[in-house]
Structure 1
């Protein structure tokens, strides 16, 4: 491995979404000997790309965060979406999420939640499965055909007992998402929750993101949630079309 490959392997160890990793975990994920990993992690920490915490674990440093925050497309989409996400949160007081497709996974760009919102697994820059989330079903429904076939051909993990793991059933649900412009999950990512999601389109009518609300299933009112999510997604789409 070249030095550049070793460095990217160390930084890539944080991609699965773990906030904190020990040196041993970093080396194992990067496929590096402990001595090599120790030297590289030390240099990256000294330069601000990683940060060493008091108990000895490491997390992404501020310099790396600043560099990543300059990625143009996610930043612009997030900045446009935030006012509509805030309005959606004000109307529902529930979890509001903005996500995009990233290498056959859901990549969360932004999340708003309040003190009484249902706990969710998503976090900014974190990944979730496409088949078990509302935003994921939207993104998969409007993805390229080869992406859909690749995801359906792979094992669909049962995150909960209610997760759809049958490819035929999921294919039918994706067709309904394309027809209605809405996706729902019922306790598929976490027990007790329901989500409603809608597509966000650019000026070429391509689906570039998904917007969702996640609520407690026992208190969910789809007659209220669906129009709110659809309205916010369409308003954001109009803004995206205006700058495309």
Structure 2
């Protein structure tokens, strides 16, 4: 019985799944790079795009902090000893605190050090659906930032252009990634249209993969091996035992009748 309780109750870990930790680590690197770009380049359009992206990162990191503190083995240990306070401060929308996101990189380094690169690679390959989802989410974030900046650089000085500001570029990229495509903003240059095609392809891939992932999670039938594994060691109730005894007695009676008919 004690072994059943140990297997039924899986201990919670501070480190989450491999794909999730790498996803958060890459976002942390990008957010730190954005902070450096904001400090180095004082260009209004760049400041606008990166400001929007940093607001998005702050929201993601705040959700990550909430998720970690509620699933940590010890909320106090996570907050005080495992840099939970740094995760909380780094998720606030203040430029001076964003440098604390480097502690998230320390967590990813710990993951790679503890399990090893080969194990990480095998885990990512085994969980192909989750890995593909994280990759496409990262692609969406990268396209939102760099696609907006690229579209603005290609279009803002073109003749007859209607994408002339950072907000125009962000709006065009968002509605294109989401496959809505209102048509109020559109590229007029050849390179701009080529960039728009890449954004459309990424958007279709993100929503197609996300739909398939949800279908796999909610609609896929449970495998026979998993069902058998769940049933092994499960205690039988008295009603189940009595039902089995009745079926066994009925089978024995039928076997006796068949033997009598054959003799």
Tell me the TM-score normalized by structure 1.
Answer: 0.23
> Whose strand fraction is larger, Structure 1's or Structure 2's?
1
> Whose helix fraction is larger, Structure 1's or Structure 2's?
2
**Structure having the higher Rg:** 2
Higher relative contact order (CA 8 A, sep 6+): 2
Tell me the TM-score normalized by structure 2.
Answer: 0.22
